[in-house]
Structure 1
Amino acid sequence: MVTKQEIVNSVPQRGFFGHPKGLLSLFFTEFWERFSYYGMRAILLYYMYYEVTQGGLGLEQSTANSIMAVYGSLVYMSGIIGGWIADRLFGTTRTVFYGGILIMFGHIVLSLPGGLTTLFGSMALIVIGTGLLKPNISSIVGDLYADNDVRRDSGFSIFYMGINMGALIAPLIVGTVGLDYNFHLGFSLAAIGMFVGLIVFWFTKKKYLGLAGSHVPNPLTREERKSVFTRIAIGIVAVAIIGFILIQLGIMTIDVFTMIVSILGIVIPTIYFIVMYRSSKTNADEKSRVLAYIPLFVAAMMFWAIQEQGSIILAQYADQRTDLSLGSFDISPAWFQSLNPLFIIALAPVFAWLWIRLGERQPSTPKKFAFGLFFASMSFLVMIIPAYFNGTETLVSPWWLVLSFFLVVLGELLLSPVGLSATTKLAPGAFAAQTMSLWFLTNASAQAINAQVVKLYTPENEIMYFGVIGAVALGIGLLLFFFAPKIEEFMRGVR
């Protein structure tokens, strides 16, 4: 068994802004992976509902919105599988590389003009590939540093910057090419982006990563492998056969599938909570913290339900309800997808400074979540104003969308990094990794529920749509703020 110190000693510890050289490899790998993913997402909705004569698939807009939400949900759910494969079979480095290959082929398939067949085939490849890559590449970053290395938090901040830089430029490039020239050409750029990321990873991992990510923490024995692979093979074949039969009988429609995912988005985290709470390995203090985590989980779900609609409902709003001309200059609706990472890059250092500045005076975790929900609710409630004063028949200023994205990013910076930190503190000792998976399920569950909610949006009912969702988020935020002292009691000393 390789020790943590042996892994750290195998990595060149200086060479990338004072950080291990391996951070350079992972920074640019994740940069290009996010470029490919967010570039694809910037134009995918339009590709689905644009008419065939415009190069799209001509789907109903409500169906396209629902597919986008299900897609995002499955991407986050698949991370559970990716973590298991890395822990039991391949280690994180090999799992990340295999995931990148699947993602690249997913974009290649989408770049081919094959209609719904290539769309769903591409989605399957990218969902599985992202599940293999996304959770595990962050784990490798942690392997670069000794446990007491003061550079660790700074290293993750640099890595997080790479994620947002890739997400920032992708809609500007892929969005422009996809909408102004050809959707499939845009998807091919996403494939090229992932290919570049794989090249960077392959040619730098041996020299810069050393043993990081190479060990398998809990490998399957030979007997276990045979049993597990047999079960997996039987399961895949059974699901494929049942799915084929249901599709042929007309039972498994897109609407039925999205409903199944929506139900799973509620059932899976519920099972997680029940198992952790009832486990004999969870002591009394940990049981109390599990209970404290439930309202935080619900609040995070509500937040992501709004934030993730930026690439669905607000993307549709940008395309159909927004005046995209600034003087003689035309804006692409896909460019609005760059606002979220732009504001995060600009504001993340401000929030990091603020928490240090406030020290012990900063709000508790439940109150930060409440403030995050307040800003998320405002990001939807402000979208009522142009429709209320000008109706839904006229185009609105793009600055309303800019304001909406700005407000939700303020909420994200209050909730997302705080949620990651709180998860590590509130997790029962025996369920540390599973609780981190549970945190990522807040997004998966939110998008699973969104798969039903986004079907309800039309330009004609947008006052009701934005108003109800914004009001629900505001209500949950107020309840969380009001009951924050009680939740803090259940957190048993964790602030």
Structure 2
Amino acid sequence: MTSTEGGRTMATTAGTRSDTRFFGHPLGLMTLFGTELWERFSYYGMRAILLYFITDTLANGGLGLDRSTGVAITSIYGASVYLLSVVGGWLADRVIGARRATLYGGLVIALGHVLLALPGGAGPAFAGIVSVAIGTGLLKPNVSSMVGELYDRDDTRRDGGFAIFYMGINIGSFFSPIIVGAVRGAAGYHAGFLVAAIGMALALVFFVLGRKALHGAGDTVENPLTADERPGLVRAGLLIAAMVVVAVALSAVVQSVRAGGAAFGASGVVDAISYLAFAAPIGYFLVMLRSPKVTRPERSRVLAYIPLFVAAMLFWMINEQAASSLAAFASDRTVLTFLGFTIQPEFFQSVNPAIIIIGAPVMAGVWMRLGDRGPTVAHKFGIGLALAASSFVLLSLLTASFGDAKVPAWVLVLTYAVQTVGELFLSPVGLAATTLLAPRAFRSQAMALWFLAPAAGQAITAQLVSATENLAESYVPYFGTIGGVTLGLAALFFLVAPWIQRRIVEGEEDAPAPAEH
């Protein structure tokens, strides 16, 4: 018999509580570790070469779009992944369960990579990009949730299990730009996408063959739709459809004014998805603030969370430019030799996961040692945002110092390093703060709210790039302006940090006690 409690299936934890076959953890963790490692390998490998593919000439196997359009498309692709993750999480919770959502998502991702690997022009290529975005939206939020189902609430191995799982993410994302970039350099874009497809195939092999070790994790639909809820679901679907229509219509008007009546093309799609990415968090916050299920103290904490969300949005706006503007900079303005070796521009995207692998355990140890003497959650957000902004200011100043010459590779490595240290301050505490400050009636949807921050951040990037006439000639003002403005906003954030922290403390005091078994 299977019963559900606290977002887990009791049958699952009963089957894994005594399982120590994977470094002291349940064998199911190996299934999910391998699945996520190879899925991230495929995702970051494809992302590493996506901009170059979109903007390279047709003769070289690319799509021949200009640099600014390519960067905008790459950014809005990232925003779409996070927007669709909200849908993927909802489908798993209410309709198909996390395991099937992960499986279906993996199959769609594999199809997308195959479409990209086949020479066929812009049609199959964009169909492949859309497929990877949809599939990742289904898979991304649900693999992590299944890791949680492997452990009982009071199982002391839980944190260690997630640490191992996240190590798999960073191992996959470290090696993929190096390998896919090398293959792309030797045999072309479609060969690079084929390597990503092979990575996704290996992820599916791990997931399918390791299903027995999961002991039913992800099989249960935790909060299935009821007949009474279906009319409300229809209304919500119609509302979302109306929002999409409005976004497309508004984008068409803006496109017509901006380009003198030009047809609705790639830039129109970028604008429409940007508007949806901006509207989604605003709508989410309005629903929470106006809901009769939200108490007055909870409403106060939601208001306190808004500055944290804005800080996270601005942070991801900068951090997620690794595959867009920074990838363009690596190709256009960076000397691609390092320690006597010629390198591919994709290789720089491995700096972030390398530092995460090394720095995350160190940072965790520092916080444990400091205890209550360390920075507050709000101040960690502020430090992370300030470091991200400083990385762009630094890149702008160093680029200007070299004039028209290309900058050495260490400049871009340093930029990524500063950003990644900022990520170590902000990202680990972000979801914890989200779940803590979310009203109880919306706590299960907290992950969706957190995903909307990088979605909106990358939508901002897409708009900034679209407004930049010639990105290749505007790197110094582009990075300098974004970094300088964001650094000023980080300073303002520090002014409200004490107020935010007081609300977080209230959230801890009002939080319900964990359920006992």
Instruction: Determine the structure 1 residue equivalent to 2:490.
Output: 477
Determine the C-alpha separation between the residues in 2 that align with 1:394 and 1:235.
49
Instruction: Determine the structure 2 residue equivalent to 1:34.
Output: 40
Letter in 1 for 2:474: N
Alignment equivalent of 1:311, drawn from 316, 319, 323: 323
Letter in 1 for 2:51: L
Instruction: Determine the structure 1 residue equivalent to 2:281.
Output: 269
Shift of 1:9: 1.3
Count of residues in Structure 1 that have an aligned counterpart in Structure 2: 490
Counterparts of 1:177-216 in structure 2, within 5 Å, are 177-206=183-212, 208-216=213-221
Shift of 1:320: 1.2
Determine the C-alpha separation between the residues in 1 that align with 2:234 and 2:292.
30
Shift of 1:494: 4.3
Counterparts of 1:66-145 in structure 2, within 5 Å, are 66-145=72-151
Per-residue CA deviation, residues 195-251 of structure 1 (Å, 9 max, x unaligned), is: 111011101112x10121111112235797899799979999x989x99xx99x974
Shift of 1:435: 2.5
Secondary structure of the 1:212 match is coil
Instruction: Determine the structure 1 residue equivalent to 2:347.
Output: 335
Secondary structure of the 1:132 match is helix
Percent of residue pairs identical? 47
Determine the C-alpha separation between the residues in 2 that align with 1:332 and 1:469.
26
The answer to which of 12-21 and 359-368 deviates more is 12-21
- Mapped contact 2:80–2:133 kept (Cα < 8 A): yes
Determine the C-alpha separation between the residues in 2 that align with 1:239 and 1:486.
36
CA root-mean-square deviation: 2.6
Secondary structure of the 1:375 match is helix
Letter in 2 for 1:202: V
Letter in 2 for 1:102: V
Determine the C-alpha separation between the residues in 2 that align with 1:56 and 1:313.
18
Determine the C-alpha separation between the residues in 2 that align with 1:492 and 1:327.
50
Secondary structure of the 2:210 match is helix
The reply to whether residue 220 of structure 1 matches residue 225 of structure 2 is yes
Letter in 2 for 1:296: L
Per-residue CA deviation, residues 314-338 of structure 1 (Å, 9 max, x unaligned), is: 1111111111123642011111111
The reply to whether residue 437 of structure 1 matches residue 448 of structure 2 is yes
The reply to whether residue 403 of structure 1 matches residue 414 of structure 2 is yes
Letter in 2 for 1:371: I
Q: Judging changes above 3 Å, is the alpha-carbon distance between structure 1 residues 250 and 235 closer, same or farther for their aligned structure 2 residues?
A: farther
Letter in 1 for 2:38: W
Determine the C-alpha separation between the residues in 1 that align with 2:282 and 2:239.
27
Instruction: Determine the structure 2 residue equivalent to 1:453.
Output: 464
Determine the C-alpha separation between the residues in 1 that align with 2:283 and 2:171.
36
Letter in 2 for 1:13: D
Determine the C-alpha separation between the residues in 2 that align with 1:111 and 1:232.
34
Shift of 1:397: 0.4
The answer to which of 375-384 and 324-333 deviates more is 324-333
Determine the C-alpha separation between the residues in 2 that align with 1:409 and 1:100.
28
Q: Judging changes above 3 Å, is the alpha-carbon distance between structure 1 residues 396 and 214 closer, same or farther for their aligned structure 2 residues?
A: same
The answer to which of 429-438 and 448-457 deviates more is 448-457
Instruction: Determine the structure 1 residue equivalent to 2:511.
Output: none
Per-residue CA deviation, residues 62-119 of structure 1 (Å, 9 max, x unaligned), is: 1100000110000000011111211122111111011100000000011111221112
Instruction: Determine the structure 2 residue equivalent to 1:256.
Output: 268
Instruction: Determine the structure 1 residue equivalent to 2:514.
Output: none
Shift of 1:470: 0.7
Determine the C-alpha separation between the residues in 2 that align with 1:491 and 1:225.
36
Counterparts of 1:282-321 in structure 2, within 5 Å, are 282-321=294-333
Per-residue CA deviation, residues 414-455 of structure 1 (Å, 9 max, x unaligned), is: 001111111111111000122221111100000111111123
Shift of 1:489: 2.9
- Mapped contact 2:329–2:475 kept (Cα < 8 A): no
The answer to which of 1-10 and 15-24 deviates more is 1-10
Unaligned runs of 5+ in 2: 256-260, 509-517
Shift of 1:298: 0.6
Determine the C-alpha separation between the residues in 1 that align with 2:475 and 2:244.
39
Instruction: Determine the structure 2 residue equivalent to 1:371.
Output: 383
Per-residue CA deviation, residues 355-400 of structure 1 (Å, 9 max, x unaligned), is: 1011011111111111101110111111123332221x21110000
Determine the C-alpha separation between the residues in 1 that align with 2:340 and 2:360.
34
Instruction: Determine the structure 1 residue equivalent to 2:515.
Output: none
Shift of 1:179: 2.5
Letter in 2 for 1:5: M
Secondary structure of the 1:383 match is helix
The reply to whether residue 493 of structure 1 matches residue 498 of structure 2 is no
Q: Judging changes above 3 Å, is the alpha-carbon distance between structure 1 residues 460 and 201 closer, same or farther for their aligned structure 2 residues?
A: same
Determine the C-alpha separation between the residues in 2 that align with 1:472 and 1:383.
15
Determine the C-alpha separation between the residues in 1 that align with 2:485 and 2:237.
41
Give the alignment's TM-score, normalised by structure 1: 0.93
Secondary structure of the 1:382 match is helix
Letter in 1 for 2:65: L
Determine the C-alpha separation between the residues in 1 that align with 2:394 and 2:237.
48
Determine the C-alpha separation between the residues in 1 that align with 2:497 and 2:340.
51
Instruction: Determine the structure 1 residue equivalent to 2:178.
Output: 172
